[in-house]
Amino acid sequence: MSNEEKKTTPPKKGGLGRFLFGKRDEKDIMVEEQIQGPWKTVMKTFFSNKISVISLTAFLLIAAIVIIFPMFKPVVLSDEETTQQNLAPGRDFMKIPAGNYVKIAQGKSFGMGITEDGKVHSWGNTRIGRVNLSDIPEEVQKAKIVDISVGIDHVLALDDQGKVYSWGNNRQRQVKLPSEVEKMTGVKEVHASTQVSFIVTPDNKVIAWGNLNIFDYMASHGYDGQIEKLVVSSDAIFGITTDQEVVYLGRQKGFISTSAPQGVKIVDAAPTAKSFAGIDADGNIYTWGLRTYRGEGNVPEEIPGKPVKITGGRYHYTLLLEDGSAFSFGDNYFKQTNVPSAAKSDVKDVFSGYYQNYAVKEDGSIVTWGLKGYLMGTDEFGRDVWVRLMNGGRMTLTIGAVAVLISTVIGIIIGGISGYFGGTVDLLLQRVSEMISSLPFLPFAMILNALIGSSMSPDQRIYLMMIVLGLLSWTGLQRLVRAQVLSVREQEFVVAAKSIGVKEGEIVFRHIIPNVISVIIVSTTLSFAGSMLTESTLSFIGFGVQPPIPTWGNMLYGSTNSVVIQTYWWRWVFPAIALSLTIIAVNSIGDGLRDAIDPRSQER
């Protein structure tokens, strides 16, 4: 190659650097314009903006989560659990400390256990109101504890001498020991329930104290001196006599009191919230009470072994089988009946409570299954905030999307017709648009809500909100479309279409509108965020989607109380973050599209 050729030939770009870092050859600006179409240029400009890309990624991630998650975990509108009210975020309900445990008692959000050395350990969310149940009294720490029972907000313990200890909330006198119990030794059993405490004395009698007005117990039950074991639910009590018969110890006479098995010798029994179950010496299982409340009383036909012990949770039972395996049945909303493979062999004891299970193995290790906690806590009805946040997000996004779709269609039609035809048509349509845009939206929605009242179902109210949002939010888009059509309708391609006889409707919607689609996309994107915010505003002030159907707006509406704001922060922080991030992301996407479509806007 001559020296002259070397001077005129441009150097090659790329090489190893291109291979490693993906650099492409630079092109002449005229060549670039010939190769890239306008939309490719728009997309290139959009994706070169880091904020727009991050916003788009965040929005797509949020949308995917709130759309996919409810398919696997739909919200149960009738779900309400008083024992799980206002629990703080956490996943430590079964985070049991290391040790060789001989007894475990599970509370609504915490656990208490006794190790072989008689020491009491606690885990989970032990703070109930102003009381922290992990503050174990010094006398309990010094004693050798052999039995323990937990209630809603208090704990009973029993040492190796049969002496009773108690601590926790004493508002209903459930912690203060009666004088006769305080001096007593040789106590056989302790049971803590809802604001009530029970013991079985050495002479097989039952002593109860606390708020007995809310508990179905009758002191003169007629079985004093015969009770060997108690079976205590949240509001009812049965006893197992020294002859292994099941007897009712309550006041009320009805189905629960008469549904217990008769003429059967029960060796072990356990309660759930609404039912009871027991096993006999042959391993047969008997259930009574409200057995079909959540299906916990429906005993499976096939149980892979002979039960030797039974324990109960809130709505499920767990069995210890003779072959050293665990088996659970009943309600499975929190996976509390999904027994892990590790708990199907070498198990020497099982313990259950609420929605948790523990299997103590021969080597001292513990296998747990069930509810570990709530990622974002619970609300005032005991509902999982995370589940409601995901399902509420889908509802909020759906309402916003449908409302924007309606307003976009109307805005394109009105703006296209008004801008193309002009004259009287334009004048009439613009005055209608001004009338609608002058309506005060929030007062109008309130008046509409008051007129409708309870005459519409919750689903019908949701559809109505979508329609109202769509019908009242098209005016801004139609002005933009009209302005764009006015500037395009005199261009050559429109004149050419008229000259060859193309119908005017086709000219507007097949030729002009596609040329102004960029403005429509930007406006629609920004309107989507506005519709979501409007829906949330309406729900927040109580005029939108009504609970128990969740939306981000009515989740915030349920957190307006000053006590909630100060004490139960998770009930408003997470919905507020989700709504803010989504709206910011959508607005940033709209701004990025506007900048990409109209480069002059970047000069401001």
The CATH number linked to 430 is 1.10.3720.10
Residue 167 has pLDDT above 80, yes or no: yes
pLDDT digits (tens, 9 = 90+) for 471-483: 888 998 999 999 8
Q: Do residue 403 and residue 467 come from a single domain?
A: yes
| Least confident segment among 5-14, 71-80, 115-124, 501-510 | 5-14
Structure tokens at 518: 């960029």
Q: Do residue 585 and residue 541 come from a single domain?
A: yes
The per-type count for the chain, helices as H runs and strands as E runs, is 19, 23
Q: What is the mean pLDDT of the chain?
A: 87
15, part of any domain:
no
Q: Do residue 63 and residue 115 come from a single domain?
A: no
Q: What percent of the chain has pLDDT over 90?
A: 55
Q: Do residue 548 and residue 404 come from a single domain?
A: yes
pLDDT digits (tens, 9 = 90+) for 27-53: 454 444 444 556 677 788 888 889 989
Residue 16 has pLDDT above 50, yes or no: no
pTM higher than 0.85: no
Determine the pLDDT at residue 432: 92
Q: Do residue 236 and residue 329 come from a single domain?
A: yes
| Least confident segment among 45-54, 168-177, 235-244 | 45-54
Q: Do residue 326 and residue 448 come from a single domain?
A: no
Across residues 507-514, what is the average pLDDT?
82
Across residues 583-595, what is the average pLDDT?
88
Beta strands in 242-376 (DSSP E): 246-248, 266-271, 275-280, 285-289, 307-312, 316-321, 326-330, 347-353, 356-361, 366-370
What is the rounded CA–CA span in Å between residue 472 and residue 461? 16
Q: Do residue 395 and residue 300 come from a single domain?
A: no
Structure tokens at 553: 């707006």
Determine the pLDDT at residue 428: 93
Across residues 426-435, what is the average pLDDT?
92
Whether the upstream peptide bond of residue 548 has omega within 30° of 0, thus cis, is: yes
In the listed set 161, 193, 215, which residue is the last one of a domain according to the structure?
Answer: 215
In the listed set 320, 347, 373, which residue is the last one of a domain according to the structure?
Answer: 373
| Least confident segment among 521-525, 552-556, 596-600 | 596-600
Across residues 573-593, what is the average pLDDT?
91
The secondary structure of 143-189 as a DSSP string is S-EEEEEE-SSEEEEEETT--EEEEE--TTSSSS--HHHHT-----E
Determine the pLDDT at residue 361: 96
For residue 547, give the 3-state DSSP assignment: coil
Residue 15 has pLDDT above 80, yes or no: no
409, part of any domain:
yes
Q: Do residue 508 and residue 579 come from a single domain?
A: yes
> 384 and 80 in contact (C-beta within 8 Å)?
no
CA angle centred on 406, ends 558 and 39, rounded to 5°: 110
Q: What percent of the chain has pLDDT over 70?
A: 92
Across residues 542-549, what is the average pLDDT?
80
Beta strands in 58-116 (DSSP E): 101-106, 110-115
Q: Do residue 420 and residue 569 come from a single domain?
A: yes
Q: Do residue 210 and residue 232 come from a single domain?
A: no
Residue 130 has pLDDT above 80, yes or no: yes
Across residues 292-310, what is the average pLDDT?
88
Residue 116 has pLDDT above 80, yes or no: yes
Q: Do residue 339 and residue 397 come from a single domain?
A: no
Determine the pLDDT at residue 305: 92
Residue 407 has pLDDT above 60, yes or no: yes
465, part of any domain:
yes
Determine the pLDDT at residue 453: 63
Number of domains in the chain: 3
* CATH number of the domain encompassing residue 256: 2.130.10.30
Across residues 382-402, what is the average pLDDT?
92
Q: Do residue 124 and residue 190 come from a single domain?
A: yes
Q: Band of the pLDDT at 119, cuts 50, 70, 90?
A: very high
Q: Could you give the C-alpha distances from 114 to 136, 501, 528, in angstroms and in order?
A: 13, 91, 57
Residue 438 has pLDDT above 90, yes or no: no
72, part of any domain:
no
> 86 and 385 in contact (C-beta within 8 Å)?
no
Q: How many CB atoms lie within 10 A of CB 536?
A: 28
- Domain of 560? 47-67+389-603
> 297 and 256 in contact (C-beta within 8 Å)?
no
Residue 571 has pLDDT above 90, yes or no: yes
